[in-house]
Amino acid sequence: MPTEVEVARALADALVAEIAKKRDLVLALPTGRTPLPLYRELVQRHRVRAVSFARVRTFNLDEFRGLPADHPGSFRAFMERHLFAHVDLEKAHLGFLDGEADDAAAECERYEAAIAGAGGIDLAIVGIGGNGHVAFNEPAEKLVSRTHVAKLTRNTRQANAPLFGDDPSAVPTEALTMGIGTVLGARRIWLIAAGAGKAQILARALEGEVGPACPASLLRAHPALTVWADDAAAAQLSRGRSLLHRWFVGR
Ligand code: PGA
């Protein structure tokens, strides 16, 4: 039965193999609690020279609006703490939405153009929010396809409170985020989920109705989606589980 750490190791192995195949891989990267074991594994592998990120390019999925990049609650600061400061990614290769941009719409357009300029995203690694969100695409009647300004739900602000001294009211009310269409534009998507707290929403996303009420369900439209879940997160899935609880959808 895979634990969170076992899944993170398998993920890191798979990612290192992808980078070995394509040294200038273009990644979309998530923040949150879920990717932390993966980032720890990557830092570890880099320390022992098992992987170099020197030519890899990254685009983070989202950023809070109104925060300077060096604010400790920003996703940029999160990435510095947990990955960027510890590996050999080039600063110029780190794509980030500028939460402080005066013209947020122009910033979103710049981001889409930067992704296109990099040749598109080879591999988008995404988590799933407890409410089914992907990046900051919150459940709604309609979703915005491309990178845009999003209003954050109370749940999401609560979930991000640890970055802001456990005070949900200190969490920004808006964010800049890749759209679900931006994520679906990646050549491959890896959805990662860990812990019992994700079991219900993962089952809904993978086996429930496909639609904007559960943005993660839309990932099932992608021809190369891989779901990486630990045992606890996979507990409510009904269909065939492999040893690592990986599903290859549409292959
Ligand atoms: P989490 O967040 O990894 O902190 O659970 C996932 C998400 O909101 O996408």
In the β-sheet with 148-151, what is the strand arrangement from edge to edge?
62-64, 174-177, 148-151
Q: Judge whether 77 and 69 are in contact, CB under 8 Å.
A: yes
Q: Assess whether pLDDT exceeds 60 at residue 248.
A: no
**Is residue 139 within 6 Å of ligand 1 at its C-beta?**
no
Segment 126-172, tens digit of pLDDT: 999 999 999 999 999 999 999 999 999 999 999 999 999 999 999 99
In this prediction, residue 87 carries a pLDDT of 98
pLDDT exceeds 70 at position 230? yes
Instruction: List pLDDT tens digits, range 92-128.
Output: 999 999 999 999 999 999 999 999 999 999 999 999 9
Distance from Cα 208 to the centre of ligand 1, integer Å? 20
pLDDT reported for residue 239: 61
Greater pLDDT, 61 or 250:
61
Residue 32 CA neighbour count, 13 Å, CB half:
24
Quick one: pLDDT band at residue 251, thresholds 50, 70, 90? very low
Catalytic sites, residue numbers = 62, 131, 133, 138
**Choice from 4, 11, 34 to test ligand 1 binding pocket (greatest atom count within 8 A of CB):** 34
pLDDT band of 241, cuts 50, 70, 90: low
Mean pLDDT to the nearest integer, 232-239: 86
Q: Is the pLDDT of residue 189 over 90?
A: yes
Q: The whole model's pTM is what?
A: 0.95
pLDDT band at 1 (very low <50, low <70, confident <90, very high): low
- pLDDT one-digit tens code per residue, 19-75: 999 999 999 999 999 999 999 999 999 999 999 999 999 999 999 999 998 899 999
pLDDT for 238 equals 82
Q: Under a CB-based contact definition with an 8 Å cutoff, are residues 96 and 106 in contact? A: no
Residues 6+ apart with CB under 8 A from 152: 136, 138, 160, 171, 172, 173, 174, 175
Q: How far apart are the CA of 156 and the centre of ligand 1, in A?
A: 9
The tokens for 117 are 């300029």
pLDDT at residue 213 is higher than 90: yes
- The verdict on the CB of residue 129 being under 6 Å from ligand 1 is yes
Please report which confidence band the pLDDT of residue 244 belongs to, taking 50, 70 and 90 as the band edges.
very low
Ligand 1 pocket, residue 177 CB under 6 Å: no
Find, among 28, 75, 76, 25, the residue nearest to 52 by Cα.
25
One-letter amino acid at 25 equals L
Specify the residue with its C-alpha closest to ligand 1, atom 6.
129
Whether residue 2 has pLDDT greater than 90: no
